[in-house]
Amino acid sequence: MSKTIIISNRLPVQLQISDGGLTAIPSVGGLATGMKSVHSGGESLWIGWSGLTDEETPPELEADIDKALEQHACAKVNLTEKEMEGFYFGFSNRTVWPLFHYFLEYSEFELEFWNTYKAVNQKFADAIIEKSNEGDTIWVHDYQLMLVPQMVREKRPNTSIGFFLHIPFPSYEIFRTLPWREEVLEGLLGSDLIGFHTYDYERHFLSSVRRLLGLEVSFNDIYLDNRVIKVDSFPMGIDYKKFKDAAIAHEQITKENRTDFQKKLDSHKASAPDTKLILSIDRLDYSKGIAKRINAFEYFLNKYPEYKEKVRLIILAVPSRSNVPQYKLLKKEIDELVGRINGELSSVNWTPIWYFYRSLPFENLIDLYTSSDIAWLTPLRDGMNLVAKEYVATRTDKTGVLILSEMAGSANEMNEALLINPNNFEQQADTLKRAITMPKEEQMARNMFLQNRLERYNVEVWANEFMGALNRKSEDNYTFVSQ
């Protein structure tokens, strides 16, 4: 029976060795959390990196690792520390990530990074060939693996290959600065279907293909000699039911049985019932605009001092890519900013910012989503931003206000949120005031529209639409070959 092969750098679980044994930790990030619900439902195998480099893997644990991954219907690609350095910390996160998020000044063009990226992409392609059969459908994910579609195509010319980019595709003017821009485009063109979160990213990609490769592009089709490649936008949804049901279950837990985290939130609420909680959750990444958000919060408190002691900003930042210098600098900047603002503005009864630098289990995420009056998400650039969708999905009584950066892909589908420009402090201060004072009826009206849309276009619908389009495209491209 043919199956779907999902392939991404990070698997939905990351293995860690503790006390000589193996632990599987759920991965954080939009790709893993989104695709996990698709993977658990069907006949699929997920190939990716296990979370352990070769150097970290004692040979006697090899078989246990394979077994642990098999339980999650996963298989691993082995990577050495040196490969991770050049491929993941290097080309993926010091070249492509900053470039595609419009941080051109952070992007490093190192030949060694590029060579390792090519070699590691070839490893992933080889793993696909080894672990899949002729009739399987291959679904490649994200910017770490942009050369894989072409590499698989060379060995399996008639296989159905889809690619989805989870981050923005930048405008041609930005993309053209990449020294290996043609190779990257050619790598992607090994696919039959290339998907993006938004129509803008799709347009930018098509424009780069036309201008850099001189290929014929008609609407969203790219014409090669022997194949036509379809490019389309598929805005990724969330597992709406999972978040809604978790929030309903959360409401039903008796006070004594709540998590310790929720008990602390409850006791603060009891001691200051009028204080509004403003929540932000992101990976600690410069693209998320965390430092600007903190500055904008200070600006708000100075502009509207009557809200001192009446609001609290919770910042939950999950550690991410901490070997990359820009992320180290950002961590330091945020530690200092939070320290300075809390030092300057706190009173005996009030700390303006609660800052957590850690990954939290799912149940605590639900504690935070359901306890916060406002979610304030300010990415400077973000492929989608699923946190915005998760917050809305957990608002069972439909109250709560979402303030969202217009630079997030999700802003395209979330017009009922209060949309802001993260660089505009004046606008954000006024929007925070508006959110704090928004009547309940207005909150409920806005969230009703948002929730209906999230429920309809959930992650399963997203995956089915992508797979449906891929199957149709592959039939067009290859039926004549197999006849």
Applying CB under 6 A, which residues contact ligand ADP? 28-30, 33, 281, 283, 316, 318, 359-360, 365, 384-387, 390
For ligand F6P, give the closer residue by CB, 144 or 208. 144
CA atoms within 13 A on the CB side of 41: 11
Site pattern 306..325 for ligand F6P (x: CB under 6 A): --------------xx----
Q: Is 197 in the site for ligand F6P (CB under 6 A)?
A: no
Cβ(166)–Cβ(384) under 8 Å?
yes
Cβ(375)–Cβ(279) under 8 Å?
yes
Q: At what angle do helices 386-393 and 362-371 cross, to 10 degrees?
A: 70
By a kind-dependent CB cut-off of 5 to 8 A, residue 385 interacts, out of ligand F6P, ligand ADP, none, with: ligand ADP
115/107 Cα distance (integer angstroms): 16
Tell the smallest beta-carbon distance from residue 321 to ligand F6P (Å). Answer: 5
Structure tokens at 394: 């957990």
Q: Is 101 in the site for ligand F6P (CB under 6 A)?
A: no
By a kind-dependent CB cut-off of 5 to 8 A, residue 321 interacts, out of ligand F6P, ligand ADP, none, with: ligand F6P
Q: Is 447 in the site for ligand F6P (CB under 6 A)?
A: no
C-alpha pair distances (Å), 96 with each of 93, 108, 110: 6, 9, 11
Q: Is 167 in the site for ligand F6P (CB under 6 A)?
A: yes
Cβ(454)–Cβ(410) under 8 Å?
no
Structure tokens at 77: 């690609």
Cβ-Cβ contacts under 8 Å for 9 (sequence gap 6 or more): 48, 49, 88, 92, 141, 142, 144, 145
By a kind-dependent CB cut-off of 5 to 8 A, residue 365 interacts, out of ligand F6P, ligand ADP, none, with: ligand ADP
Q: Is 288 in the site for ligand F6P (CB under 6 A)?
A: no
Among positions 107-166, residues that touch ligand F6P (CB under 6 A) are: 142, 166
For ligand F6P, give the closer residue by CB, 144 or 431. 144
For ligand ADP, give the closer residue by CB, 37 or 107. 37
Cβ(428)–Cβ(296) under 8 Å?
yes
69/72 Cα distance (integer angstroms): 5
By a kind-dependent CB cut-off of 5 to 8 A, residue 386 interacts, out of ligand F6P, ligand ADP, none, with: ligand ADP
Residue of 4, 7, 24, 30 that binds ligand F6P (CB under 6 A)? 30
Q: Is 31 in the site for ligand F6P (CB under 6 A)?
A: yes
Residue of 13, 15, 24, 32 that binds ligand F6P (CB under 6 A)? 32
338/316 Cα distance (integer angstroms): 12
Q: Binding residues for ligand F6P, per CB under 6 A?
A: 10, 29-32, 142, 166-167, 320-321
